[in-house]
Amino acid sequence: MAQLRVTGAKFSWTTLLALSHFIYLLLGATVFQHLEREAESNNRNNFQLEKLYFLANYSCLDGPALEKFVKVILDAWENGVNPSGNSTNPSNWDFGSSFFFAGTVVTTIGYGNLSPATFQGQVFCVFYALCGIPLNLAFLNQLSKCLAFHLGRLEHNMVSMVPRKSIHQCMEVLAVVVFLLMGSVLFLIFPPIIFSYVEGWSYGEGFYYAFITLSTIGFGDFVVGNGQDRQNVSVYRSLTAVWIIFALAWLALLLNMGARIVEHFLGLRKPPVSTDEERPSSRKQEESLSQRAIQQ
């Protein structure tokens, strides 16, 4: 294990990495609490004021009746039913939406805005995820290998264009940069434009949704197709599921490259030790024994 010596004491890189990870979590918790706690308090106060205003203007309702109605709305939202509009809203379990939900299951995104309500659906979801998640990981792994192969071809073509070996390394870095920029435009920069147009989000919200989805964090605060009264919402969600699958492979390749850079910088990986280097003395002993056997 790689170690770091500081003032006479030895610290392993693994311990340092674990400590850095924990400190990073503490930093994130502190920043999120500072940024979001006040907004949450304001939203809660505004909601309470709206309830009081509603009760003051509609005297036929009392407090418990309103609380019961609010609970009905929350239960409907948790079950995937849009409280606004009427019963003509698009179903959350048409084929396109079901295909989109199946994709969120096998990719472990799990937005949380939609889930099976029946016992049979819940049991099927468990076994479907048990079989689908390994299948999806194998597919993404193979797709990442395909992308890495094309990246290698791009590097080879760019390096072969330069006769001087002194700048080959620069051309390889340039090839990686070009590959990452193409993937970023295709999977992270262009899709938010479509989301902004269809969903009515800002570009920042669309970009936030794209990254939260592709990183499989999946908060569920932004989900495509929610509240859309369009006839093509089923096709729209199906195409989004296809985008998620291919973009996940690209982001997985990107994150793996970042992880390898960190591991290489910290020295967490060591080159494999060959048999010749691992046990040279044992091989010499075997050779001497074989020579004695021949002499005898």
| 211 and 141 co-located in one domain | yes
Choose between 196 and 284: higher pLDDT.
196
Report yes or no on 256 lying in a domain: yes
Render pLDDT for 120-178 as a digit per residue (tens, 0 to 9).
899 999 999 999 999 988 888 888 788 778 777 777 776 676 666 656 667 667 777 88
Identify the domain containing residue 121 by its residue range.
90-268
- Asked whether residue 241 carries a pLDDT value surpassing 80, the answer given is yes
Helices (H), 161-232: 168-184, 191-199, 203-214
pLDDT at 182: 87
**pTM, full prediction:** 0.68
| 28 and 132 co-located in one domain | no
pLDDT at 130: 93
Render pLDDT for 32-60 as a digit per residue (tens, 0 to 9).
888 888 888 888 888 888 878 887 888 77
Residue with tokens 């570009």: 203
pLDDT at 141: 82
Report yes or no on 107 lying in a domain: yes
Q: 219-228 long-range CB contacts below 8 Å, 24 or more apart?
A: 219/111, 219/112, 220/110, 220/111, 220/112, 220/113, 223/111, 223/113, 224/100, 224/195, 224/198, 224/199, 225/90, 225/97, 225/100, 226/82, 226/113, 227/82, 227/84, 227/85, 227/89, 228/90, 228/198, 228/199
| 201 and 67 co-located in one domain | no
**Count of the separate structural domains present in the chain:** 2
- d(C-alpha 83, C-alpha 87), whole Å: 10
pLDDT at 203: 94
| 150 and 260 co-located in one domain | yes
Report yes or no on 278 lying in a domain: no
Query: Hey, which of 84-88, 257-261, 266-270 has the most confident mean pLDDT?
Result: 257-261
CATH number assigned to the domain comprising residue 262: 1.10.287.70
